[in-house]
Structure 1
Amino acid sequence: MGVKAERAVLLRQLKDYLVFLKDQGMDHVPLLEALETTFRASTVAAVKASAPPASVLASSVPVLQTPTADNTMIQPDAMSRLTEVRNELGECTRCKLAETRTNIVFGSGNPNAKLLFIGEGPGADEDAQGLPFVGRAGKKLTEIIEKGMKLDREKDTYICNIVKCRPPGNRDPEIEEISACKPFLVEQVRAIRPKVIVALGKPAASTLLGRSVAITKERGTWHEFDGIKLMLTFHPAYLLRFYTLENRRAVMEDMQKVLEVLNS
């Protein structure tokens, strides 16, 4: 992982934390001295253990208690739990994708988001940067969120995939690979507890529903996963490959249904 990619991961995760603080009513970074001490200690330990900088940030920042506007102490439970899940995942070797990946792509966004997007798996850009949906499909997803839904990707959503490592050649994840990753996906969902989940494409929809899904027939329909409303729609990559006004309109109709639930 190059210096530029490491910096991108660090900045993205730091931004996630700052968004969390803002959502809690904070207008400054609290406990600066404690924050610096924790970073310093974690960095030294990470260097000794040869851990990547992104792991330092993920394991140190979220667990700090922070004061609210009325000076009461709060624990960022969603972020803290996501950090625990990421630490449990570790430098995963549970399936053969570990042999070809560059980075584990865990997820990004607001841990307290009401809207969770779940895709299929990382592509080449995601594998290089360690972040989900940063390539062409990611730009299309951002367009859907920000231009179509009038939401902020960083503040209003959390995004992850059913598998955390890139399948070679961007092929569909295999059953064994999905099975190895699904326990961590389930724990991500339970940590965030969104109001709505959007499954992007057939592999994500099939994984969450536990059956084969004909996405062209079932997109736009409501289902449920772990007690949370689940909407099925096309993957942004599908829109790039088969871009028609009909497909674009279909996705925006699906997202309008999602907005109606979020605003209810």
Structure 2
Amino acid sequence: MGVETERTVLLRQLKDYLVFLRDQGMDRVPLTQALETRPPAPNPAPVRPPGGEPTDGERRPAPAPIPSPEPVSATTETMNQTDASSRLIEVRNELGDCTRCKLSATRQNIVFGSGNPNAKLLFIGEGPGADEDAQGLPFVGRAGKKLTEIIEKGMHLNREQDTYICNIVKCRPPGNRDPEAEEIDACKPFLIEQVRAIRPKVIVALGKPSASTLLGRTVAITKERGTWHEFDGIPLMLTFHPAYLLRFYTLENRRAVMEDMQKVLEVLKP
């Protein structure tokens, strides 16, 4: 791979940032001064592996059902929405033109995430594929079309308005192989900050690598799909990756995923 000039690197960083802003529904670049004058965010609570003992002052919520949130004023809701979008921009800026692992040497684009920053439902996959790497957006290839079908036809939700979608690693593993441990470790801090910025009501882990990363152990997805767990205090549902459905498409597998999504919808009910 040839040595990149400073201008090439800057242009690639700018392209990644503009793609991210477009994906967040923004039609202009936010003022740096406006972002810098926001009060500093409180220190986030440490991530505790599911099943571990709560730390001092930490409450462990039950995975499901979840009590309906207290009503908030229109002003408070608008402030929360602005805060989520701004925090995601900050996380993306912190990620930068990432070279923290070897995936940076082979990627075309960083694939940060897409959807509604204030979504109640967050889908987390394993990593970008070829189409995603080319476009800089998650789940836009065949697996993405299957995921959209699950969301819109199966769950009767709108993908862009009702969900946010990202991956455990932000760069494509060569040959679409599973991400390696060091690659996951390099990306996981940014994934955690994405989750905390969005504050979803439910997370859905798509496939074994995603489920294993979020739970901190090896997951047998064929045995554990459809079960509730917890990540950072948020209910976590495990299910098959859409690519698995394409590879092993059977009525039984399709029915299994829809059963999992019905469980998710029950928790999402207001």
TM-score grouping bracket, smaller chain normalisation: 0.7 to 0.9
Structure 1 partner of 2:67: none
Give 3-state SS (helix, strand or coil) of 2:24's partner: helix
The equivalent residue for 2:200 is: 194
Note closer, same or farther for the CA distance 1:58–1:145 as it changes in structure 2 (3 Å cut): farther
Partner Cα separation in structure 2 for residue 209 and residue 126 of structure 1: 25
Amino acid at match of 2:118: N
Secondary structure at 1:237 match in 2: helix
SS in 1 for 2:140: coil
Any conservation in 1 of the 2:126–2:169 contact (CA below 8 Å)? yes
Deviation at 1:159, TM superposition (A): 0.2
TM-aligned CA deviation for residue 74 of structure 1: 3.6
- Which amino acid is 1:14 matched to? R
Q: CA deviation at 1:13?
A: 4.2
Aligned match of 2:143: 137
1:242 aligns with 2:248: yes
Q: How does 1:91-130 map to 2 (within 5 A)?
A: 91-130=97-136
The aligned residue for residue 227 of structure 1 is 233
Matched, 1:181 2:187: yes
CA contact (8 A) 1:200 1:232 kept: yes
Whole-angstrom distance in 2 between the partners of 1:256 and 1:9: 35
Counterpart residue type for residue 194 of structure 1: P
Is 1:77 aligned to residue 100 of structure 2?
A: no
Specify the alignment match of 1:16 in structure 2: 24
Is contact 1:163–1:181 with CA below 8 Å preserved after alignment? yes
How far off its partner does 1:16 sit?
3.3
Q: In structure 2, do the counterparts of structure 1 residues 154 and 59 end up closer, same or farther at CA, with 3 Å as the change threshold?
A: farther
Task: Give distance in 1, aligned partners of 2:208 and 2:143.
Answer: 15
CA RMSD of aligned residues (A): 2.9
Aligned equivalents of 2:214, 2:102: Cα separation in 1: 22
Q: Which residue of 2 aligns with 1:259?
A: 265
1:117 alignment partner, SS class: strand
Q: Distance in 2 between matches of 1:145 and 1:11?
A: 23
Q: Contact between 2:24 and 2:85, CA under 8 Å: does it hold in 1?
A: no
Cα distance in 2 between the residues matched to 1:197 and 1:69: 25
Aligned partners of 2:246, 2:31: CA distance in 1, in Å?
36
How do residues 51-70 of structure 1 correspond to structure 2 at under 5 angstroms? 57=29, 63=35
1:180 is paired with a residue of what secondary structure? helix
Tell me the distance in 1 between the aligned counterparts of 2:187 and 2:20.
23
The one-letter amino acid paired with 1:162 is I
1:103–1:262 distance in 2 versus 1, CA, 3 Å: same
The answer for unaligned runs of 5 or more in structure 1 is: 19-34, 40-56
Aligned to 1:214: 220
For the residue of structure 2 that corresponds to 1:17, the secondary structure is coil
Q: In structure 1, what is the Cα distance between the partners aligned to 2:18 and 2:222?
A: 38
Query: Separation in 1 of the partners of 2:19 and 2:190?
Result: 24
CA spacing shift, 1:93–1:58, aligned 2, 3 Å: farther
With normalisation by structure 2, the TM-score equals 0.75
- The CA distance in 2 between the partners of 1:109 and 1:84, in whole Å, is 16
Q: How far has the Cα of 1:187 moved from its partner?
A: 0.4
CA deviation after TM superposition for structure 1 residue 7, in Å: 9.7
Identity of aligned pairs, percent? Answer: 79
Q: 1:196 touches 1:230 (CA, 8 Å); kept in 2?
A: yes
Give CA deviations for 1:214-238 in whole Å, capped at 9, x if unaligned: 0000000000000000000000000
Q: Describe the superposition over 1:65-107 as per-residue Cα deviations: whole angstroms up to 9, x where unpaired.
A: 9xx988x984700010001100000000000000000000000
Instruction: Indicate how the Cα distance of structure 1 residues 239 and 59 shifts in structure 2: closer, same or farther if over 3 A, else same.
Output: farther
TM-score (norm 1): 0.77
- The size of the alignment, in residue pairs, is 221
